[in-house]
Amino acid sequence: MLLAVTTLLLVFNFFGHTIILYLIGFFSSSKTNENIKKEKKCICLIVPVFNEEKILDLKIENTKKLVNKTEHKIVVYFVDGGSKDKSLEILKSKSLPWLKTLESPESGKIPQLNYALSKLQDANYVFISDADSIIINDDAFDKAIEYLLHKDVGLVGAWTTPDPSSALSIEQAYWDKQNRFRYLETRKATSSIVTAQFYGFETTLLKRFPQDCIADDVYVSLLAHEKKKRIVYAHDIEAIEIRQAQNFYSLFLQKLRKANAYTKELIRFFPILKEVESKQRYTVLFKYYQFIILPWVSLFYLFSLIVNLALGKVVTASISFMVLFLSTLFASILITPPPKRTRGGFRLLSIFHTIVVFSMVNIILLINGLIFYTWQTDSKYKRVE
């Protein structure tokens, strides 16, 4: 009985969720094209900086391409949080009319973001990007604003990929699945989240982050859901995260910190779930399922599978495993990538990576659930190198 129940719950995670998203998209009323008036906007990009001398010039040059391409009025705040290296010296040496260097009185990503947000004046839209993110599309601002001009859209984030020259294969597989799922969510309802590499919103969405916030991308995403705004995970805006974990241990710690920060925001927003629009509520509730219920389902499934094998019920165990394998395969086929993008997709190697990634993530979430109230990270934790 336990094996059957846990198998069904795992099938729901792999296949059922995908089908429900397709059904939501099918039954949702199609919106007519809005009469969108394009006009020049004032936008602000905020880049928090702390000990980034190795990559800061690269980030500035990348930002310069974006600024030169946009038709909108723009100012870029590079906010230093007390760097001990030459980051502040590099910033102050740049004489670019759009670049403003701010020195935050407090170190940490959230205090630095709030300090920059307090300096906003006439901005219509705010964009935030990590210093270790390279935006591939020079017209990223214009594309993002085109999405944000739709009344139902409150937040836009970039399609994020790890640097293929340095990322571990398991990390690349993880992002392949995440990106395709968020693209499906965007097409059928709303993306569950944006990533910190590059995202933008109208200034009316957010004035400042809570002082105890850690995951700014998770907080702003749940805030958009609360305000009944759709989130677009833009497949035509790509950001590459150039700083990557170089070994499995570093990757594990990085994922554990992120899971911890994500869980904190899920707990914060749980009381207001009833205010979320019904179509979006399902997408958000599925995150609660993945973070809180699924890790234990996976553990009990493994336990029941071992027990069945020990009792000689090889056929029962084999059927359960094949059902999971086929559900993963079919889900992978349905979660198609955008045009002109490749996929892990219909390959045994990709399915193997899916299983490995799923196992790693659920182990991390189990540990996170067990230690959450005794250990919590903050916005000043050590980055991967």
CA angle, 323 then 178 then 76, to 5°: 175
**The token pair that represents 268 in the structure block:** 């914060």
pLDDT band at 173 (very low <50, low <70, confident <90, very high): confident
Is 348's pLDDT higher than 50? no
- 378 — pLDDT class (breaks 50, 70, 90): low
Residue 350: pLDDT over 60: no
Position 385 pLDDT exceeds 70: no
Query: Per residue, what are the HEC states of the chain?
Result: CHHHHHHHHHHHHHHHHHHHHHHHHHHCCCCCCCCCCCCCCEEEEEEEECCCCCCHHHHHHHHHHHHHHCCCEEEEEEEECCCCCCHHHHHHCCCCCCEEEEECCCCCHHHHHHHHHCCCCCCCEEEECCCCEEECCCCHHHHHHHHHCCCCEEEEEEEEEECCCCCCHHHHHHHHHHHHHHHHHHHHCCCCCCCCCCEEEECCCCCCCCCCCCCHHHHHHHHHHHCCCEEEEEEEEEEEECCCCCCHHHHHHHHHHHHHHHHHHHHHHHHHHHHCCHHHHHHHHHHHHHHHHHHHHHHHHHHHHHHHHHCCCHHHHHHHHHHHHHHHHHHHHHCCCCCCCCCCCCCHHHHHHHHHHHHHHHHHHHHHHHHCCCCCCCCCCCCCC
Q: 153-162 and 42-49: which strand pairing?
A: unpaired
Mean pLDDT of 20-30: 81
pLDDT tens track for 258-276: 999 999 999 999 998 888 8
Sign of the CA dihedral 20, 329, 285, 198?
negative
Q: What percent of the chain has pLDDT over 90?
A: 64
Instruction: List pLDDT tens digits, range 276-325.
Output: 887 788 999 999 999 999 999 999 999 999 999 999 999 999 999 899 88
Domains and CATH numbers, the chain: 8-23+286-371 (no CATH), 42-275 (3.90.550.10)
Distance of alpha carbon 179 from the chain centroid: 9
C-alpha of 128 from chain center? 13
What is the structure's pLDDT at 333? Answer: 80
257 backbone dihedrals φ, ψ, rounded to 5°: -65, -45
Per-residue tokens: 369: 């659930």
Among 10, 55, 344, smallest CA distance to 181 is for 344
Q: What is the rounded distance in angstroms from the CA atom of residue 341 to the CA atom of residue 235?
A: 9
Task: Give the Cα separation of 100 and 78 in Å (integer).
Answer: 6
Q: Yes or no: say if 226 and 271 are a contact pair by the CB < 8 Å rule.
A: no
The residue that leads in pLDDT, 220 or 281, is 220
pLDDT computed for residue 34 by the predictor: 60
Kindly state the average pLDDT of the residues 163-190: 89
Q: What number of other Cβ atoms are within 10 A of residue 285's Cβ?
A: 12
pLDDT band at 379 (very low <50, low <70, confident <90, very high): low
Q: What is the pLDDT of residues 63-103, one digit of tens each?
A: 999 999 998 999 999 999 999 999 999 999 999 999 999 99
